[in-house]
Amino acid sequence: MTDRREVLRRGLRLAAGVALLAGCSPDRAGKRTDRIRLWVAPNEAEEGFWKIAVARWNALGRGLPVEFTTIPTAGSSEDTVLSALVAGTEPDLSTNIFSGFAVQLAALGQVEDLAAMPGYTELIARRDMAEITPGWTQDGKVCALPIYSSPTLIWWRADLLEASGLSEPPRTYDEVYGFCERYGQARSRFGMQVVSGRSWADRWFDFISFYYAASGGQPYLRDAHALYDNEAGLEAASFMDRMFRKGWTALDFDAEEPLVSGLAAGGVRGPWDVERFAKIYPETLERIQVGPMVARGPTGPGPVATFSDSKGVVIFKTSRVRREAFDFLAWVLGEEELNLLWLRRTGLSPARGDLLQNPRFAEYYRTNAIGRVYAEHVASARPPALSEYTIDIQKIMTTRLVEPLMTGQLKPAEALAQAAARTDQMLKVQM
């Protein structure tokens, strides 16, 4: 009997141990209210900025102190944020959120509508974001605020352009064709890298960028309907098709950075590539001239529209210091001095519409030719369509539109019609 009691006692102890382990489940009630927890992108440049900004905020004593760490990720930020939300270990604020993921989080009721926060309108006015926020607004709600806007533009090797008789980067399809005819050599030297890669995300840097340029920044998706099977879509698709059919571009450029050897004289690149080239290929960077996304002809006054690879910041609904977190956010995004610090540290243009008019930023852009071209396009750059089905939409774009154009299986009009129809069909099932 004694032994049975002992067994029972041990069993209870084991149960207590298991209960203890089970206690490692989300404890949202235990979230702190004495400080604001912030996650920032895990890269040296951005971390350096936040270190200074957070130290200044804490020294000012204007609100709750902020504690920041980089997103503890080995893979993608999205996976880490998601895991943290499920485990209940998410911070109050997180940066490095792309708009499609923000929409997914909003659909799951995990992020705060920032447009409803007191002080939102003042922040938009102070940061001159009126032209930028529509791309981040869905049904009047803003689930993430863009910190920076990185337009996609075409980098050209100025020395190779010059050798082919061009003093500035091509702006139209015809100029690109003319250059490719002079520069290209069958299967060994190509005028331009047209397709950025195989992943769904690469469509932002090829078809979507070309489509925005051709359409003057018109959306390619609205509600549950693909809009790119139109005149602008046909122009962009025909351009890609002709480049492949004529052999002026390769199926991929995975073996090397084509701009360095001149394997391709041009390719779509973002401002984040400036730092990469400065570190690895400084000599090539000196020969780079940045041109706009090409289109058939001018699509309107001002800079040509293009895609904006922006990352934003969200406030999680589970936070118990949402108001205080927004106060911090409004301060850090609204302070021009901090925006300039961001620009100097990261080289990424803050998402604001007055970069070239505001004298505070003029000095930086006077000495930074590449940064200036990117800044010129911040206002005309459009973010991706706000959809929680971004991956499926762009996978269809890859398999039904871009790949058939690469291999010549379909004519541009057929590929466009097929991709748009399949997207509509998929969205109809999902929604």
Partner 1 sequence: MTGRRILSREGWIGLSLALAYMVFAAIFWAYPFFWLAKLSVTQWRFFDEPVFTGTRNLVRTLKDPAFLQALWNVLRFLVMYVPIAFCGALLVAFGLRHVGRGKAFVGLCFLLSNVSSGVALSLVFTKIFSSTGPLNDLLFDLLGIRIPWTSHPTFAMLAIALVVAWKFAGYYGLILYSGLLTIPGEIYDAARLDQAGPFTRLVRITLPLMNAQLMMVLVFAILVSFGLFTEPFLITGGGPADSTVTPQMMIYETAFRRLQPSHAAMMSIIVSVTSYALIAVARRLLERKVTLA
Q: Return the number of the residue (275 or 388) whose C-beta is nearest partner 1.
A: 388
**In which residue are the tokens 């996609």 written?**
152
| Shortest distance (Å) from residue 85 CB to partner 1 | 7
Q: Return the number of the residue (198 or 246) whose C-beta is nearest partner 1.
A: 198
What whole-number distance in Å separates Cα of residue 79 and Cα of residue 42?
Answer: 14
Q: Return the number of the residue (78 or 175) whose C-beta is nearest partner 1.
A: 78
What whole-number distance in Å separates Cα of residue 78 and Cα of residue 312?
Answer: 12
Evaluate whether 248 touches 406 at the Cβ level (below 8 Å): no
What whole-number distance in Å separates Cα of residue 1 and Cα of residue 152?
Answer: 78
| Shortest distance (Å) from residue 21 CB to partner 1 | 7
Cα distances from 124 to residues 53, 334, 360, 377, in angstroms, run: 20, 8, 18, 19
Q: Return the number of the residue (59 or 74) whose C-beta is nearest partner 1.
A: 74
Q: Return the number of the residue (100 or 347) whose C-beta is nearest partner 1.
A: 100
Return residues touching partner 1 (CB under 8 A).
1, 3-4, 7, 17-18, 21, 78-79, 82, 85-86, 104, 108-110, 187-188, 197-200, 250-256, 258, 263, 388-389, 391-392, 398-399, 403, 406-407
DSSP class per residue in 2-65: HHHHHHHHHHHHHHHHHHHHHTTS--GGG--SSSEEEEE-SSHHHHHHHHHHHHHHHHHTSSS-
Q: Which two tokens stand for residue 280?
A: 């690895």
- In angstroms and rounded to an integer, the radius of gyration of the C-alpha atoms of the chain is 25
Q: Return the number of the residue (254 or 283) whose C-beta is nearest partner 1.
A: 254
Q: Return the number of the residue (69 or 83) whose C-beta is nearest partner 1.
A: 83
Q: DSSP strand E in 82-239: where?
A: 93-97, 137-138, 141-142, 145-148, 153-157, 190-193, 221-222, 225-226
Torsion region of 232: left, alpha or beta (phi above 0 gives left; psi -120 to 50 gives alpha): alpha
